[in-house]
């Protein structure tokens, strides 16, 4: 009869950490930390792919990588410090729109922000929050507001599993397009017209421009442009005989837009 292997006499994780923090190894360990955090916030690392750090795959900014790695070591691998430094940097705060002359520089120079798809959790949370009646947040005390947001995010957890985790070369696939078109869950949870839903709020309005303004602000977090107001107003006015369906289509179009799907 086969016997299970004996319990190890040491912790593999502890042994790995001890080895990684040895003076001759910690520089590589720190560079890996920096590179993965950089990839997390910028959508691409200083070394790409992030798991291919070797002499034949040099970093795009070697001096920056070395400086950040030394800083991580000197401050006891304080991840909060390095994250704070990254998100407060000019590079992280740049727009995804190139305002210079000619074509924008290659992405590896970080001259403009990289347009990135939302992760499944981010997308699910955004969908749930965007389709909630914005007036349901009015007059909430800070503690109640945080509790309300937490409730909505918890209710979106199951939906996150319906979406593909984006890779470096992500493209919206057929499955996601079919999901938004045919899923009963999408229809029931996001496009219901109950009193606490965005569609319910839009349906209660009389003026089309007010409907458009609330729908765009709730989903895209900005005011609609003049062209959008004109196009949406024309769409709604031509469907006065089936206004409820048209209002649902308006919100669906905003939720499935490129602007909503990606982090700009």
| Other beta carbons within 10 Å of 153 | 15
pLDDT at 70: 95
CATH for 117-263 (1.10.3470, 1.10.150, 1.10.3130, 2.60.40): 1.10.3130
- Domain ranges (residues) in the chain: 12-109, 117-263
The C-alpha atoms of residue 264 and residue 262 are separated, in whole angstroms, by 6
Region 206-215: mean pLDDT is 95
Q: Report the pLDDT value the prediction gives residue 83, as an integer from 0 to 100.
A: 97
Mean pLDDT on 20-26: 83
- Residue 117 — left, alpha, or beta (φ > 0 → left; ψ -120 to 50 → alpha)? beta
Q: Mind listing the pLDDT tens digit for each residue in 89-136?
A: 999 999 998 988 899 899 899 999 998 899 999 999 999 999 999 999
């Amino acid at each position: 009869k086969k016997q299970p292997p004996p319990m190890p006499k040491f912790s593999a994780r502890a042994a790995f950490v001890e080895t990684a923090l040895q003076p001759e190894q910690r520089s590589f360990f720190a560079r890996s930390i920096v590179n993965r955090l950089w990839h997390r916030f910028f959508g691409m690392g200083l070394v790409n792919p992030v798991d291919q750090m070797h002499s034949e795959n040099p970093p795009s900014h070697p001096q920056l990588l070395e400086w950040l790695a030394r800083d991580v070591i000197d401050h006891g691998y304080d991840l909060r410090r390095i994250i704070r430094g990254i998100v407060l940097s000019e590079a992280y705060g740049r727009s995804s729109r190139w305002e210079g002359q000619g074509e924008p520089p290659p992405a590896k120079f970080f001259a403009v922000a990289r347009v990135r798809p939302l992760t499944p959790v981010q997308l699910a949370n955004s969908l749930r929050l965007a389709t909630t009646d914005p007036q349901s947040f009015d007059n909430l005390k800070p503690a109640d507001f945080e509790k309300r947001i937490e409730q909505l995010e918890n209710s979106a957890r199951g939906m996150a599993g319906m979406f593909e985790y984006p890779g470096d070369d992500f493209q919206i696939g057929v499955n996601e397009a079919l999901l938004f078109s045919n899923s009963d869950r999408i229809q029931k949870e996001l496009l219901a017209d109950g009193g606490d839903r965005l569609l319910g709020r839009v349906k209660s309005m009389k003026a089309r421009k007010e409907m458009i303004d609330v729908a765009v602000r709730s989903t895209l977090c900005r005011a609609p442009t003049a062209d959008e107001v004109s196009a949406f107003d024309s769409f709604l006015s031509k469907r006065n005989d089936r206004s409820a369906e048209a209002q649902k289509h308006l919100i669906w179009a905003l939720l499935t837009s490129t602007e909503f799907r990606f982090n700009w």
